[in-house]
């Protein structure tokens, strides 16, 4: 028993260094290749219909996280096969907490990408993967439909396998691909929402809910989504490309 405890204690510093230590930056060609890969799953419409599920996870996760941080009671998250989602929380249907919760959806993917780019620029590749895995596991507890459970479970399982079993080069390529995807993929949903609203659709979108909550035109909230996503892409891209 003492031997087991001693072995466990001696392994803790190694695990700490593995998670919180820094790793060397990948070659520039790897960074560019992962950018191209991210564009390849965001730009083509057919592929985007599948890969958009991951952006929806970040979108609904943003709603849920901010709801909790502002004191609301998160009751559940649903993810649907058409890449839509729904986050339900209890609390006052007005006020700052509700406004921040509604604003967190479209801004969450690009801001997560920006945060990920900051971690990668600091060399914390493994830490990024472990943080993403932890967030997905926490989110899994709040999922309330089978498709959502499957989607988050597969996504979290992929992160866990890569962070635990893959070598440094594979981890780096995977981490950069994920961050590029969040940065690039975080731009497209706001343009899709703009197109739907121009055709008279999406009357209950996040922008329209925010308009009712704040009496600020929905178009200005849509502009805000564009600013956050494009600025995150430019700032995160500079960090990833070491400019």
Per-residue pLDDT tens over the stretch 2-29: 555 555 555 556 666 666 677 888 999 9
Tell me the mean pLDDT in the region 149-155. 96
Question: 1 lies in a domain?
Answer: no
Question: 6 lies in a domain?
Answer: no
Q: How many domains does the chain have?
A: 1
Better-scored residue on pLDDT, 23 or 37: 37
**pLDDT value, residue 200:** 84
What percent of the chain is modeled with pLDDT above 70? Answer: 91
Query: What residue numbers bound the domain in which 173 lies?
Result: 22-240
Question: 5 lies in a domain?
Answer: no
Tell me the mean pLDDT in the region 101-105. 97
Tell me the mean pLDDT in the region 117-121. 96
Better-scored residue on pLDDT, 122 or 243: 122
Q: How many angstroms separate the first and last alpha carbons of the chain?
A: 53
Angle at 198 between CA 197 and CA 203, to 5 degrees: 25
Question: 13 lies in a domain?
Answer: no
**pLDDT value, residue 163:** 87
Closest alpha carbon to 85 in 38, 48, 52: 52
Q: Strands, DSSP E only, in 91-130?
A: none
Model pLDDT for residues 40-95, shown as the tens digit of each residue: 999 999 999 999 999 999 999 999 999 999 999 999 999 999 999 999 999 998 99
8 A C-beta contact, residue 90 and residue 144: no
Rg (CA), the chain: 19
**pLDDT value, residue 3:** 57
Question: 10 lies in a domain?
Answer: no
- Using pLDDT thresholds of 50, 70 and 90, give the confidence band for residue 171: very high
Question: 17 lies in a domain?
Answer: no
Q: Report pTM.
A: 0.91
Tell me the mean pLDDT in the region 141-167. 94
Question: 39 lies in a domain?
Answer: yes
Question: 115 lies in a domain?
Answer: yes
Tell me the mean pLDDT in the region 178-188. 98
Report the chain's mean pLDDT, rounded to a whole number.
92
**pLDDT value, residue 17:** 65
- For 79, the 3-state DSSP assignment is strand
């Amino acid at each position: 028993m003492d031997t087991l405890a001693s072995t466990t204690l001696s392994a803790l510093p190694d695990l700490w260094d593995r998670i919180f230590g820094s790793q060397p930056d990948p070659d520039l060609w790897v960074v560019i290749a992962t950018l191209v890969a991210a564009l390849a799953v965001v730009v083509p419409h057919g592929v985007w219909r599948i890969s958009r599920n991951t952006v929806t996870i970040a979108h609904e996760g943003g709603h849920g996280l901010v709801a909790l941080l502002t004191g609301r009671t998160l009751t559940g998250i649903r993810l649907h096969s058409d890449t839509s989602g729904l986050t339900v929380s209890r609390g006052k249907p007005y006020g700052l907490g509700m406004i921040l919760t509604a604003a967190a959806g479209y801004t969450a993917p690009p801001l997560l990408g920006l945060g990920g780019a900051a971690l990668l620029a600091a060399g914390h590749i493994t830490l990024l993967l472990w943080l993403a895995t932890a967030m997905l596991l926490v989110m899994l507890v709040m999922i309330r439909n089978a498709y959502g459970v499957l989607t988050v479970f597969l996504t979290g399982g992929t992160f866990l396998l890569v962070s635990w079993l893959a070598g440094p080069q594979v981890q780096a390529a995977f981490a950069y691909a994920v961050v590029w995807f969040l940065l690039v993929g975080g731009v497209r949903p706001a343009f899709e929402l703009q197109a739907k609203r121009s055709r008279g659709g999406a009357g209950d979108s996040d922008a329209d809910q925010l308009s009712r909550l704040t009496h600020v035109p929905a178009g200005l909230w849509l502009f805000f989504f564009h600013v956050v996503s494009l600025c995150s892409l430019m700032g995160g891209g500079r960090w990833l490309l070491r400019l």
